[in-house]
Chain A
Amino acid sequence: MKAHEAVRAVLLGLAGAGLEHMVTGGLVSNHYGVARSTKDADIVVQMEPQAFARFIHALPPGLALHPQASFETITGSRRHIVTVAGSNFQIELFLLGDDPHHQERFRRRVRAAVAELGQETWIPTAEDMVIQKVRWNRDKDRDDVKNIIGVQGDALDWPHIERWCEAHGTRTRLAELRAAVPPV
Chain B
Amino acid sequence: MNAPNEFQPLMDDIFREKVRRARLVPPGEKLFSGLELFEEVEERMRAGVRQQFPAADAEEVERILRQRFARLRQIEEHGFYVPAS
Contact = CB atoms under 8 A, between A and B. Distances in A.
Interface of A: 2-4, 7, 23, 26-28, 30-31, 33-39, 41, 68-74, 78-79, 87-89, 112-117, 121, 123, 136, 138, 140, 146-147, 150-151, 176, 180-182, 184
Interface of B: 1, 12, 15-16, 18-23, 25-42, 65-66, 69, 72-73, 76, 79-84
B35 A3 contact: yes
A37 B38 contact: yes
Contacts, number: 123
Contacts of B16: 150, 182, 184
A34 B84 contact: no
A30 B1 contact: no
A114 B82 CA distance: 32
Given A23-B31, A27-B32, A88-B66, A151 B38 contact: no
Given A70-B84, A150-B15, A115 B41 contact: no
